[in-house]
Structure 1
Amino acid sequence: MTNKETLILVDEKDRPCGTQEKLVAHVLPQRHRAFSIFIFNRQDETLIQRRALGKYHSPGLWANSCCGHPRPEEKVDVAAQRRLGEELGFTCILTPVVKVCYTLKLEKNLWELEFTHVFRGEYEEDFRPNPEEVMEIQWISPEALRQDVLRHPQAYTRWFRLYILKHYKILFPSFHHKAQIA
């Protein structure tokens, strides 16, 4: 993946309204279409990744399983499968969960102004993440993750903190339901 990637610009209802080079869209900022993926195992743990140090923003920080942007003329679900293979080396069935819009200030005068399609999937097999994208992976329970994000927010990307702190019940409904029953 390169910073010369072209993103799909969208309005507040996710309707395409143009294209822009990825880095430019993150500097201006311009709202663009994106996706985030949360992968789970049979123990209801979610897979998190520590971003490679060579990433142009948020290097070395923990994030959700996978994220990215569809290319112009590429459907979001197809792009999500493509990126999952590129970053983590596997694909699986992905189910749409929610759409989230946010604006977040990042380091180096960069912004995230995204209309994000969030997916979830399940995977149990061995896999080899792409070291140019991912420096470390970990399976973690949703509650342990939430507690760690609260204790060490600086270790996580801005968008991942937003997902965990603002959208926890939607992203982890089975775990949230179990916690209420206990």
Structure 2
Amino acid sequence: MEQVILVDEKDIALGVMEKMEAHKKALLHRAFSVFIFNSRGELLLQQRSVNKYHSGGLWTNTCCSHPRPGEDTLQAATRRLKEEMGFDVPLEKAFTFIYKTEFVNGLSEHEFDHVFVGYYDGQITPNPQEAESYIFQSFSQVAQLLKEEPARFTTWFHIAFPQIRNWWNHRNEI
């Protein structure tokens, strides 16, 4: 039984709960999102497996999930990147955000999301239970796709993408 860490708006742990129960009750819990860039500054997107419990078949950031109780969030992000996309790289924390969304199947996401960034140009071997496909896209390509076909992307990606683009632009001004 997979559990998530319930948190408050300051990311202070309040306890644990079975993952699906937390998603049914829309309780705020700790999560992470990983954004991987190649040497050309393109973002690695994954298309979620159609068999996922929500947002199946939609495009999103490289990897996302929840840390296990007692697990450091950075370690969880590193673990999950390897499990989902078949590689690991050093990750650095970029920022956090909170979002809440409901899905047509009665589930919801209410997450305190820790965003991590890494860089990779090597072999990608996605786990087919997690990802249908993947592609590297420039910021302008992603922005155009989000504008033209917003329903092809996850809810949280719509929220996180402008923030990761701002983070990238600020980081590369230096």
User: TM-score w.r.t. structure 2 length?
Assistant: 0.95
Alpha-carbon distance, 1:169 to partner: 3.9
- 2:16 is the alignment partner of 1:13: no
Is the 2:87–2:123 Cα contact (8 Å) retained in structure 1?
Answer: no
Q: Render the CA deviation track for 1:66-91: whole Å, top value 9, x for unaligned.
A: 00000000000000011001000111
Aligned counterpart in structure 2 of residue 112 of structure 1, from 109, 130, 139: 109
SS of the residue 1:109 aligns to: coil
How many corresponding residue pairs?
173
Which residue does 2:127 correspond to in 1?
130
- C-alpha distance in 1 between matches for 2:58 and 2:15: 30
SS of the residue 1:38 aligns to: strand
- C-alpha distance in 1 between matches for 2:37 and 2:170: 11
Which residue does 2:25 correspond to in 1?
28
Which residue does 1:172 correspond to in 2?
168
- 2:133 is the alignment partner of 1:155: no
Is the 1:50–1:134 Cα contact (8 Å) retained in structure 2?
Answer: yes
Aligned counterpart in structure 1 of residue 49 of structure 2, from 48, 52, 57: 52
Is the 1:58–1:107 Cα contact (8 Å) retained in structure 2?
Answer: no
SS of the residue 1:54 aligns to: coil
Counterpart amino acid of residue 126 in structure 1: Q
- C-alpha distance in 2 between matches for 1:108 and 1:58: 10
CA RMSD of aligned residues (A): 1.5
**Which structure 2 segments of 5+ residues have no match?**
none
Aligned counterpart in structure 2 of residue 85 of structure 1, from 71, 82, 85: 82
**Which structure 1 segments of 5+ residues have no match?**
178-182
User: TM-score w.r.t. structure 1 length?
Assistant: 0.91
- C-alpha distance in 2 between matches for 1:78 and 1:8: 15
What are the residue-to-residue correspondences of 1:93-108 with 2, within 5 Å? Answer: 93-108=90-105
CA change 1:175–1:77 in 2 (3 A) is closer
Is the 2:139–2:165 Cα contact (8 Å) retained in structure 1?
Answer: no
Counterpart amino acid of residue 140 in structure 1: Q
Counterpart amino acid of residue 172 in structure 1: W
- C-alpha distance in 2 between matches for 1:157 and 1:171: 20
CA change 1:168–1:118 in 2 (3 A) is closer
